[in-house]
Each structure stands twice: as structure tokens, then as C-alpha cells.
A and B are shown apart, each in its own frame.
Chain A
Amino acid sequence: MSESTGPAGPPQSTHPIMGPDDVARALRRMAHEIVERHRGSNNLVVVGVQRGGAPLAAYLAAQLSDILEAPLEHVDLDVSFFRDDIGSAPLKDAAPTTLSRDLRGRVVILVDDVLFTGRTVRAALNALLSFGRPDAVDLAVLVDRGHRELPLRADYVGKNLPTSREERVRAGLDGVWIERAS
């Protein structure tokens, strides 16, 4: 999230690290891993971190409901008001949060596009807790690019992608690219 630029804008690098088919396959594999870990559980809710995680969460929820043969709820969560860089970086425009119910007793699959420093995930965890106390929270990311600044890890990873700090990673349903900082 922190280093992805979202779905808009053409990628700068010429060839994608992953194409749309690779992304779809990775998300399907992650859906199977989620089902394996939470076999028999009927209290899953997929929460996409705005903005990059939202379309991935929608796709992942659709895959999960295919596998489970049951509808599965997916909602979006904006974490702007929980960030730790408020006042020290320009504000990000808040995106809609469609999560509105209490999460008590639910198992949350938190979905984001890129796991980098971990600060967005930290904000998301705090934001989630203002919806009550879920039974568990798992983290699913399309790309783990390393360089963590907080003790966090993902439970389901689409692709581990070694990067330098200066690079930018763009990840979405349309593919994954590394962009050199200009």
C-alpha cells in the first residue's frame, strides 16, 4: 500500500514481474491456503485495505466463495486516520470504508497489495480493532517486498519480491511492476 501507486497510470518499466494471469493464479492459490487453514469455519470476512487492497480483496473473496460454495462477505477499510505519519507527511485522501459491522467472533482475512515497511498493516490492525474484537486476523498480500520496519509478517503471500528501498512496486489485478524512482 505505502509504495504502490494504485491502479491508475501506465507502468514505467516495460515488462511486468507478474501478468494478470499470474496474479489470478497466485490469488487462487492463496484462497486454497486460507480454506486449508480455516477448514470448516463459517465466520470468515475478507477486508481489503484501501486503496490497493480493495480490488484484490473482492477477487479473493470471489475465489473463496467458489471453493467454499457459499457466499463470502468482503468489505473495504480505509486506514488514513490510523496512520503513524499523520502530520509528518502530506495527508492521503480518505477512501470509503464499507466495513460497518462488529467483528466480534469473526476471522478476518486482511488483504493488501504490497507489504513493505508494515506501517500500513499496523494502521489497519488498529483500525480493525475499532470494530470490536475479532477471533483472529490473517494477513494476505499479493507482494512482499521486504524492508519491514515493524515486527509483522504475512500469512499468505502471492510473491516474494526482493527490492531496493528506492524502487516503487505497483501491484494489482492487472499485474505487478517494479518502477525505478525518478
Chain B
Amino acid sequence: MATPVARSFLQVAATEEVASPLRVVQIEGLVILKIIKHCKEFSPALVTGQLLGLDVGSVLEVTNCFPFPIREEDEEIEADGANYQLEMMRCLREVNVDNNTVGWYQSTLLGSFQTVELIETFMNYQNVIELDNILVVNAIKSTFVCPSPEKLDSLKITTSAHESSLKFRKRAVQGIGNKGDGCVKEAISYSRENIRRCVCIIYDPLKSNQGVLALKALKLSDSFMELYRTNNFTGEKLREKNLSWVDIFEEIPIKVSNSALISAFMTELEADTPVVQCDYDRLQLSTSPFLERNMEFLIECMDDLSMEQQKFQYYYRNLSRQQSQQQAWLQKRRAENMARKATGEEPLPEEDPSNPVFKPLPEPSRLDSFLITNQISNYCNQINGVAGQSFSRLYLTKALHEN
């Protein structure tokens, strides 16, 4: 009797494999306010938090979020942080909040977020999420294909191995342990609800003081992720993949949605005012502190970049020296071989792997310079944007004065 059901479940599990590309991140106004509150209260310290929501086709809905406490370098506290996360998600689930992790948010200082840490966090999130999926699907498959107790035990062991995201696995194991139809269904619905993608939302409190809503949704591009997994950032690989620094991050357009109730309340509470705070912020004439800091960061980045360039120069110098050494060695060997031929002896092989001259030099990773380049172009964009705005302000003041 169970076979037809099992097949359909398997089919369901199989159809999950196909994913449509992520096009839009849809954020609730509530989430925006929560992020802003958290980031502003702790500014200038940089803070992070978790995003919760649903993955619907090509839209990733972010319907709630919660902040993380400021992290401290201590193992005990780190474990505490993981507990906090589970506890918070459990609590929020109880009041019917979507409790699927869809990514995280973080505050930034003038957009200086493109770091190796960010990429690592991304990979962690992505791995945890994918692992969840695979485990749940496998759990379901294995129970139906071969519901032996040993299998279940092995499953429990693999699941307990990864402590960081217990939730889904626990559910899967529970569902299988009970072998109740309802539980398996629940496990499947978990795997279906489960998100394969995650985004990072970046909020810049300083930039927001200029009267713009400085929110950005980012994800790593697929090709970059593939490359990062193999951890191979040599020039050859990059050329092969045709990946340049622009292709590391993908910015995803943000949509904002509000429930009808909230929209009604906002309309009710706040009649149309002709002037709002962000108008004042936008018309503020002094932008020099903002620009100055941008320039400072830009200069720092340029220094870093030139350091990276020096590394490359050093590498190329060494490479060419090695090549000339190789040539010299080869010529010597050929001359020797000619001599040996003349005397009727066997020629020596033209290659000698044991010779240190042939040891390949490790090519420095390009990841750092890529990130720095990204950073620089970000600062350039910001400077351009702010300078453009101050032009319009200056002309406005001029016009006002002339009148």
C-alpha cells in the first residue's frame, strides 16, 4: 500500500531539484524598520541578524527577522549564540512567523562590506541550507526504499554530526522514527519549505543620513560559488570561467510589501505631509564629511590594491626567472645529449622532475584583489552619486540666491 505513496513522495523530492533563478527579494516594511532600528541603535558598531521568510518561485520573501547579540570572541558565548538562534526561531514559530532562514542582514560603514568574511558567511549559510535539503530528502528516500533500523541509526549519526542547524534534520529523523504518515508528510513539507538560496541584506546607516534608503540585497553569483568551492583563484581558471571582479556579487532588486492592515494604519496615522525628514536630509548642504571619509577609504583601498599588484609582480618576476633557468638547463642537457650521441651513448631524458628548477611556483590567489577592486568601484560609485546630488543642491542655492 505504501509503494504508490512512496513513489509520489519520491517524485516530489525529485522535483525539488529544479530551481528557478532568484529575481526579486520582497521585503516587508516591518523587516526594514527592524533592520534600521537594530543597525542604528548600535551604530557605529557593525551588527548582524537573521532573515526569515519564504522562497516562492523566483521571489524570495523576507517576512521577518531577528537581531543577533554582538558577538564576542569566546567559545562559550558562541555556543550561547547558537542556542539563542534556535530559541528565537522556536519562539517566533510559536506566534506563526515563517521560520525558514533565508539569509542574514548586516550593517556596514560606507559600503565597506566586500570582505572574505562575507563570502565565507555566504558559503556557510548556503552549505547549511543545502545540507538540510539533501539530508531531509535522503531521509525520506531511505525510509521508503529500505526502512531498516540500521539505516535509521546511521541517519541519526550523520545528522547529529552537524550541530549548527539541528532543526530540519531533527524533524526528518523524528518523522522517520515515528514512521507515521503525518510525520513523513511534515518532513516533506519541511524539505519543500526549505530554502535553497540565501541573500544578504546590507544596510548603511551613514549613507541613510543623506536621505536615501541605503538597503541592498546581495548574493554570490553561481559561477563564483563554484570557483570558491574548489578554492582555485589562479588567473587561468578565472579566464576559463570568464569571471571578472564584477561577477562576484549579484545585486538583486528589492521590492517592498506591506500587509493591507499596515498600509491602512499608516495612511490613517500619517496624513500626507508636504515635507518629511528625508527631504531635509537630502537638502542638507554639507556633504564634505561623507565625501571625505569615502575618499579616505578609497585611498586605503588603493594602497591595498597596489600591495596586491606588487605580489603579482613578484610572482611574475620569479616565474620568468624560473623559465630562463629552465631554458638554460634544457640547452645544457641538449648539448650533453649531442655529445653522448657522438660517443654512441644513450641520450639522457629531457625532463627531470626532481630538479628544483621545474617545481611549479604557486600563483597568488586573485580573490583579495578582486574584492578590493569591488570595494574601490563601490566607493567610486558612492562619490559619484553624492557629488551629483551636491551639484543639484548647489545650483538650487545659487538660483535661490539670485532670486
A and B from one assembly?
no
B interface residues (Cβ-Cβ under 8 A, vs A): none
A interface residues (Cβ-Cβ under 8 A, vs B): none
